[in-house]
Amino acid sequence: MAKEAGLSAVVSQKTDFEGTPIWVYYGVPDSFKLGGIELRNVPVSWSSTESGEDVGTDGDGMIGTRVFHHPLTTFDYAGRRLILRRRTPETARKARAAAARAGAGPLPMWLARDHNVHSLGSVTGSGPRVVGVSPSTSPT
């Protein structure tokens, strides 16, 4: 995927993934599109085995969660989608209206450090608390 996208590594490191030595590559493309939004100079990473084969994961690479600071970002766990919209008053109004129609409300999202996503949630009736959210985990 990285070759198809024309990516070049700025730096690489050898590490271990589930007991297998792999190479992880880091780069910065000039730009790429997520949906209809063009992003520029966003750090990305990808990996391969020592033989050059893809690592057996469900993903083709990663973008940094810092990307989520810029657009209006929605994690739709029930619909299994990540939704990025241009951050305007109109898109915010439409997102809130769609949430209300679905019987849901918007929740705050905090990004801590380099990749930790947090919001409000509860477990077994505990009431709202700050919880960690994994954007890479599919709902079950």
Q: What is the pLDDT of residues 40-50, one digit of tens each?
A: 888 888 888 77
Residues 126 and 87 in one domain: yes
Whether 53 and 25 share a structural domain: yes
Q: pTM for this one? A: 0.56
Q: Is residue 1 part of a domain?
A: no
Give the C-alpha separation, 4 to 1, whole Å. Answer: 5
Tens-place pLDDT, residues 44-74: 888 887 766 666 655 555 666 767 777 888 8
User: Are 57 and 92 in a shared domain?
Assistant: no
C-alpha torsion 35→37→38→43, nearest 10: -80
The DSSP element (H or E) to which 92 belongs, if any, is helix 89-101
Domain-embedded: residue 4: no
C-alpha to C-alpha distance for 80 and 124, rounded to whole angstroms: 23
Order across the sheet with 62-63: list the strands: 11-17, 20-27, 44-49, 62-63
Residue 82, domain extent: 66-133
Q: Would you say residue 138 lies in a domain? A: no
